[in-house]
Structure 1
Amino acid sequence: MRTIALLLAYDGADFAGSQWQTDIRTVQGALESAWEALTQEQRRIVLAGRTDAGVHASGQVAHVQTDTRHSLATIWRGLNAHLPTDLAVQNVGEAPRDFHARFSALQREYRYLIDCAPAPLPQLRHQALHYAGSLDVPAMTAALQLLEGTHDFAAFTTATPTQRSTVRTMHWTRIVEREWFDRRLLAIELAANAFLQHMVRMIVGTLLLVGRGRMTVDQFGEVLASRDRRLAGPTAPAHGLTLTAVRYPPGLIRWVEPIERQNGTTKVEQPSSYVHEE
């Protein structure tokens, strides 16, 4: 039995989320169908992070345990041949038998894009939230930095019966500019050991209140301390959010890099912990 890791990218606009659901199009469902078509195995594919309907990924990671004897190059090429055009495998790798895409991860990274131009750009309608106005970015940055460290993020999540703890560790945060289609966008970027349901979108929705002058930085801190969802801002729309990276201990996954694929062969001589970051 082998454990294969998959690095995934997808446009979430037409998916009802990442997790498998009966009779609904999901990322996991599309992956498992492609895997069966390639290997004739019915296997459960496990994702590192759950993304909601409309949320994208450029650095999602999944794993599957398999008896297939296909090479990594064949798995990579074959899966992409069977997958829809809005979902693609970016890399494949061999992992230890006990590797788990979710539980072996050390860090997840997300990016939320905001377009503040006077008029929306149609090409960005599924990738960025359009807000035609000015935002106080220094105040937003100061508020965002209050989230760094270990905190109870109950104010920024939807309570669920299965949620054991709402404490998470935010490793770093930043607000930077990113250019897409010659348009300068505001990117809110966060990295944590794990995220709660809707957590990034609720943080962004509350940060927008700060940016618009409807909430002070101190009030933002009070929302975090309160653990009260009712005090936070609205949940930002899903389409501006992308899972950009999942990090693992160095050398845990032996990723295949495109430069190492020559003449139809695959080399895995250089283990790497690199997943993805734009």
Structure 2
Amino acid sequence: MLRTIRLLITFDGTRYHGWQRQHNGITVQGVLEEQLGHLCKKNITLHGAGRTDAGVHAMGMVAHFHLGASIPLKAFTDGLNSMLPQDIRILEAREEKPEFHSRFSALGKTYRYDFYTGPLQQPTTRLYAAHFPGFFDSSRLTEALQLITGTHDFSSFERVGSRNRELQTGRGAVRTIYKATCSAHPHQADHWSIQITGDGFLRQMVRILAGTLIEIGMGKRSPASVQTALVAGDRTKAGMTAPAHGLFLEKIYYQQLFHS
């Protein structure tokens, strides 16, 4: 009988062309599948909870695979970590029920977007926080954060062409945001984090939301423009797509969503 093995993964996405396997670039999934193949002595197909763009980081990506061999779970943490490059680590391995699926069993996700508004960014943070030097007032985001919370059609906050709109089924671009916040780093001046928890996200949705919110905080657009964009269903009505390297996938929820 096939076992279902679930992995909790953290990675620095700087040198990867995203999560999903590609023929023309190194990816996190590709590296993991290659090393799992060596460990298990067979080809392994890894099913991730979602895709991440090139340069995006993860604190809590989840993926699963099926295996018939009685390899101990410790081999998928200690053993696999010894084979992986230092920018990918397995935090946990567990055996799941056969019906578990990393993507389809997920109830929600939390993403964090980090950015810096000071005049000169330290080289050591340049790969993990976007740089937007100048004025930024987080109080300007209060209304906008409230507006994106709840269930909405987020077509305006989706990368153009990422879905075939003629073939879309189910909820289309409708998603529910449970919580959205913007907070200052307690010990580092001018460092900010936008954190968004929802039941699912469209392609580049978090980066576009972050870019729109940052523009509001910088005084480049009004808080009410969020409502205008939500109603319009037009990508041109929302703000910029924030750079990928500021984005972190923090957590994926399978049993209980984070509401508070």
Task: Tell me how far 1:183 sits from its aligned partner.
Answer: 5.4
- Could you say what secondary structure the match of 2:148 adopts? coil
Distance 2:89 2:36 in 1: 13
Distance 1:179 1:14 in 2: 29
Distance 1:86 1:64 in 2: 21
Paired residues of 2:210 and 2:241 also in contact (CA < 8 A): yes
Residue 167 in structure 1 maps to residue 174 in structure 2:
yes
TM-superposition CA deviations, 1:21-56 (whole Å, max 9, x none)? 114100100110110111112111011121000000
Select the residue among 227, 232, 255 that pairs with 1:226: 232
Partner of 2:60: 59
- Could you say what secondary structure the match of 1:14 adopts? coil
Partner of 1:108: 109
Select the residue among 233, 247, 250 that pairs with 1:241: 247
Paired residues of 2:48 and 2:64 also in contact (CA < 8 A): yes
Paired residues of 2:76 and 2:90 also in contact (CA < 8 A): no
What amino acid is the match of 1:192? G
Partner of 2:71: 70
Distance 1:246 1:161 in 2: 23
Partner of 1:12: 13
Paired residues of 1:210 and 1:220 also in contact (CA < 8 A): no
TM-score calculated relative to the size of structure 1? 0.86
Partner of 2:157: 156
CA RMSD of aligned residues (A): 1.7
TM-score calculated relative to the size of structure 2? 0.92
Does 111-120 or 159-168 show the bigger shift? Answer: 159-168
Ranges in structure 2 where 5+ consecutive residues have no aligned partner: none
Structure 1 residues 12 and 179, CA, compared in 2 at 3 Å: closer, same or farther? farther
Distance 1:90 1:183 in 2: 31
Task: Tell me how far 1:184 sits from its aligned partner.
Answer: 5.5
Select the residue among 209, 213, 217 that pairs with 2:219: 213
Task: Tell me how far 1:117 sits from its aligned partner.
Answer: 1.9
Paired residues of 2:147 and 2:227 also in contact (CA < 8 A): yes
- Could you say what secondary structure the match of 1:49 adopts? coil
- Could you say what secondary structure the match of 1:216 adopts? coil
TM-superposition CA deviations, 1:230-251 (whole Å, max 9, x none)? 111111100000000000026x
What amino acid is the match of 1:229? R
Task: Tell me how far 1:141 sits from its aligned partner.
Answer: 3.0
Number of matched residues?
251
Ranges in structure 1 where 5+ consecutive residues have no aligned partner: 251-272
Paired residues of 2:153 and 2:174 also in contact (CA < 8 A): yes
What amino acid is the match of 1:223? A
What amino acid is the match of 1:212? M
Distance 1:141 1:105 in 2: 29
What amino acid is the match of 2:162? T
What amino acid is the match of 1:187? S
Partner of 2:124: 123
- Could you say what secondary structure the match of 2:63 adopts? strand
TM-superposition CA deviations, 1:128-179 (whole Å, max 9, x none)? 0112212121112320221111100000002334462111111111111235
Identity of aligned residues (%): 38
